[in-house]
Amino acid sequence: MNCAEFEVLLHALIDGELDAGHARELEAHTATCSACAEKLASFRTMREAMSGAALKETAPAHLRTRIETALAVPRSRVISMRDFFKPTRRSFFGGFAVGSALSAAVAASLVLTVIRNNQEQTIADEVVSAHVRSLQAGHLMDVATSDQHTVKPWFNGRVDVAPPVVDLTAESFTLLGGRLDYIDSEPVAAIVYQRRKHVINLFVAQHLGARRAHTASESIQGYNIRHWSQDGLDLWVVSDLAGEELDEFVQKIASALRRPSGAS
């Protein structure tokens, strides 16, 4: 090890990038060369001073807003600004992405709405996927029983909510059982009902998309979807059952939730 080699390798040493063998060689060199030992000490001091100093910048809030806004706009608009989409709120938004600071601030208040809607969309898609998955043989139930007093406690410790499990046999919705599922990477309670040959999955979690007091209806890949929020729970219902019959099911669940005594 000569002094020229030492001058380059000492940096790898203080950066922790040097293998043990070379590190020992460097130490041996400092024992015999006081000039190099001093350099090493001096660079160490400087490195420590630098790591203690606030050298990192914080991105200004308006830049963060600008980027979040740009990322909330459909990709093709951001990049080409071509008129792919008919004028919607989102394309109206596209104009904001390149606007002034003032309009960026306005956009920031709108961006939440758009992101939330996007999240809802994502969850609707995942709910359908989970439903389809559940229909494959052996995937429908973790606990298979028509006894609500068995299904409800089964979820204890598996999800962080006590899902409503109600007996709707009188209304000809048969309780089949319950299952732990995952939506948006979160564990959710899935309660399974059946009317005639149609399976209904009721997904319940604390946060599953936008909070909405009124039931939202939607249809993806031929499956009917309903979702709403009640008592701090987000509920999603999906089935191939006809829309009106699914609405009936939603009503029963919602009214059972309003009467906790009736639910148990």
Partner 1 sequence: MANDAVAEQEKMRRFRDAALPHLDDVYTLARYLMRNPTDAEDAVQECYLRALRHFDSYRGPAMKPWLLAILRNVCNAEFARRGKEEVPTDFAQDEAVAEDMPMWQEPQASPEKLILRQQDSATIRQLVAELPEPFRETIVLREVNDLSYQEIAEIAGVPVGTVMSRLARARAMLRSAWNAAETATSRPATASRVMQ
Q: Catalog residues that contact partner 1 under the rule CB under 8 A.
A: 4, 7-12, 15, 17, 35, 38-39, 42-43, 45-47, 49-60, 63-64, 66-68, 70-72, 74-75, 78-79, 118-119, 121-122, 124-125, 220
Helix intervals (H) in the chain: 3-14, 20-32, 34-52, 61-72, 75-80, 89-97, 101-134, 148-154, 243-258, 260-263
**Residue nearer to partner 1 on the CB measure, 18 or 254:** 18
Cβ 91 to partner 1, closest distance in Å?
13
- Minimum Å gap between C-beta 46 and partner 1 is 5
User: 97 or 235, CB closer to partner 1?
Assistant: 97
Minimum distance between the CB of residue 255 and partner 1, rounded to whole angstroms? 32
Q: Distance between CA atoms of 222 and 258, rounded to whole angstroms?
A: 30
| Residue tagged 């007091």 (tokens) | 213
Q: How far is the CB of 27 from partner 1 (least distance, A)?
A: 18
Q: 100 in helix, strand or coil?
A: coil
Closer by beta carbon to partner 1, 32 or else 58: 58
Beta strand spans in 208-253 (E): 216-220, 223-230, 233-239
Closest approach of Cβ 133 to partner 1, in Å? 16
Burial of 73 from C-beta contacts in 10 A (0-12 / 13-18 / 19+) = buried
- For partner 1, the closer of residues 49 and 170 by Cβ is 49
State whether residue 211 is helix, strand or coil.
coil
Report the residue number, 46 or 242, with the smaller CB distance to partner 1.
Answer: 46
Q: How far is the CB of 57 from partner 1 (least distance, A)?
A: 4
Looking at the Cβ atoms of 64 and 258, the one nearer to partner 1 is: 64
Helix axes 61-72, 101-134, angle to 10 degrees: 50
* Residue given tokens 């208040």 in the structure block: 109
Distances in whole angstroms, Cα of residue 234 to Cα of each of 63, 120, 143, 220: 33, 11, 22, 19
